[in-house]
Structure 1
């Protein structure tokens, strides 16, 4: 949904239940015009969607955010200052219809977002 529009994947690694991806934000994306005019910020819901989409890429399954047990927005992402982000997702598949994730969105030493969530397999 956001991939190849709001962001592109510069690198993607998936091994032993861990995704490490480098993404590049589309700093000219129209979402930044409204969120917020003159001070663009990556919306929190987009950070959550990024994690879901990268987990889908790793598992090859279409997923639905079922429960976000913990969601911490620690710093704002200004796409003009930080157009490249690192996303790390540790995931487990305890059942055929559930994927649990522990994710971090960061750039160098700055952590912007952390999330622990359950994603249900669609269909």
Structure 2
């Protein structure tokens, strides 16, 4: 109430200047708000772009991990197959050594002393 009474007592040119100053101040504030909105929008866009890039990178990492997992499984299967083949060859080598040991040489004795290398 006091302010409006004081304002009413101002001469008309003063009131006009005051209104213009207020409008100018409001306009400056709106311009500043507008600039801040543009800055925030730019930052949000940058964050969204970074999130998309990270998503693509994570997909690539996941694909690499899947590929490594498949390769590890294949390697484990090959090791198992190699181990089984090695055991089979060792058994066959033992049988061959036994068969070779039965051969008789010219003096009529059976050849012995064959030892399979480990």
- TM (norm. structure 1) is 0.16
RCO greater where, 1 or 2, for CA within 8 Å and sep 6 or more?
1
Structure number with bigger Rg: 2
- Report the structure, 1 or 2, having the larger strand content: 1
Whichever structure has more helix as a proportion of its residues is 2
Q: TM-score, normalised by structure 2?
A: 0.17
